[in-house]
């Protein structure tokens, strides 16, 4: 498992190549990259706060569950915090397994859990001011799919 | 114990963390005690359905015991991903 929590930008393509490189034991690698979206054309900055003591352990727990449940050969989670600009990557996950169904499902599971169980909070800065992004009820409902 | 606040809870209370001397037995007791001390706590804790709590960096619930707990964190529902 590779888990990184960092303020710096990352290159999702390079990360995916490095993750998938040199393996002959997997038949499927699925990745997802989350990007800062400027919905109304007015987003100046996204600020992501996190709980440093808890973040790494919460993500490790989620990733370990994915590895165990889908018998992953490996998985990758990168999540940024701090100041992000529209169009920049926020986070990425990648799951490597023998077959594609396991890789797709594990990546989907990782995303659902990172969204509402990893201690990050997003704030959007626009010309109108700063607003915390509210969690959506459907994000919590999404977790029920995996129970 | 060390009490931490994140996101709008931190902004409403005005500090990211503080050391609190308390005999509170549960998270709910701690919330009641802080809320009775000052209005900024009462405002932040007015609707606990909009809050989450972690005890020693593990998600927990408001009825949980504080016995042996060193760090309590209050925050809104997480918005990662």
- Distance separating alpha carbons of residues B7 and B15, to the nearest angstrom: 11
Q: By residue range, what is the domain housing residue A110?
A: 2-144
Q: How big is chain A by its Cα radius of gyration, in Å?
A: 16
The domain that contains A36 carries what CATH number? 3.90.1170.40
On the question of pLDDT at A6 being above 90, the answer is yes
Indicate the number of domains in chain A.
1
Which chain B residue shows the shortest CA-CA distance from A36?
B81
Query: What is the per-residue pLDDT across B2-34, written as a single tens digit (0 to 9) for each?
Result: 999 999 999 999 999 999 999 999 999 999 999
- Distance separating alpha carbons of residues A99 and A28, to the nearest angstrom: 5
pLDDT band per the 50, 70, 90 thresholds, residue A22: confident
What distance in Å separates residue B5's CA from the closest CA in chain A?
A: 9
Provide, as residue numbers in chain A, all residues whose Cβ is less than 8 Å from the Cβ of B75: 51, 119, 121
Cβ distance B67 to B25 under 8 Å?
yes
Q: Which two tokens stand for residue A48?
A: 């992501």
On the question of pLDDT at A137 being above 90, the answer is no
The domains found in chain B, sorted by start residue, are: 2-75 (3.10.20.30)
From B12, B6, B3, B11, select the one nearest B75 (Cα to Cα).
B6
Share above pLDDT 70 across residues of chain A, in percent, rounded to a whole number: 100
Partners of B80 in the β-ladder: none
Provide, as residue numbers in chain B, all residues whose Cβ is less than 8 Å from the Cβ of A36: none
Task: Catalogue the long-range contacts made by A135-144 (C-beta closer than 8 Å, 24 or more residues apart).
Answer: A135/B76, A135/B77, A135/B78, A135/B79, A139/A112, A139/A115, A140/A116, A140/B77, A142/A112, A142/A115, A142/A116, A143/A112, A143/A113, A143/A116, A143/A117
Query: What is the per-residue pLDDT across B27-53, written as a single tens digit (0 to 9) for each?
Result: 999 999 999 999 999 999 999 999 999
What distance in Å separates residue B53's CA from the closest CA in chain A?
A: 11
CA–CA–CA angle B21, B25, B28 (5° rounding): 95
Q: Do A135 and B57 touch (CB under 8 A)?
A: no
Cβ distance A12 to A89 under 8 Å?
yes
DSSP string, B7-55: HHHHHHHS-SEEE-----SBHHHHHHHHHHH-HHHHHHTS-GGG-EEEE
pLDDT band per the 50, 70, 90 thresholds, residue A23: confident
Question: Which of A89, A119, A129 would you mutate first to test chain B, the one with the most B CBs within 10 A?
Answer: A119
Q: Give residue A14's pLDDT.
A: 98
What distance in Å separates residue A31's CA from the closest CA in chain B?
A: 13
On the question of pLDDT at A40 being above 90, the answer is no
């Amino acid at each position: 498992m590779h888990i990184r929590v960092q303020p710096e930008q990352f290159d999702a393509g390079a990360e995916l190549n490095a993750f998938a490189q040199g393996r002959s034991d997997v038949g499927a690698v699925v990745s997802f990259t989350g990007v800062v979206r400027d919905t109304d054309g007015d987003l100046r900055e996204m600020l992501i706060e996190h709980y440093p003591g808890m973040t790494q352990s919460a993500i490790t727990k989620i990733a370990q569950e994915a590895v165990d449940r889908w018998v992953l050969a490996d998985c990758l989670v990168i999540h940024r915090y701090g100041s992000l600009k529209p169009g920049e990557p926020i986070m990425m996950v990648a799951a490597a397994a023998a077959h594609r169904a396991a890789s797709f499902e594990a990546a989907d599971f990782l995303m659902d859990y990172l969204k509402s169980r990893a201690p990050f909070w997003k704030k959007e800065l626009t010309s109108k001011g700063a607003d915390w992004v509210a969690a959506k009820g459907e994000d919590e409902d999404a977790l029920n799919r995996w129970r | 114990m060390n009490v931490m606040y994140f996101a709008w809870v931190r902004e409403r209370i005005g500090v990211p963390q503080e050391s609190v001397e308390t005999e509170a037995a549960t998270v709910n007791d701690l919330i009641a005690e802080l809320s009775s001390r000052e209005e900024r706590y009462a405002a932040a804790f007015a609707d606990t359905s909009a809050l989450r709590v972690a005890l020693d960096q593990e998600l927990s619930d408001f009825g949980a015991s504080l016995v042996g707990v060193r760090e309590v964190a209050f925050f809104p529902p997480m918005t990662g991903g």
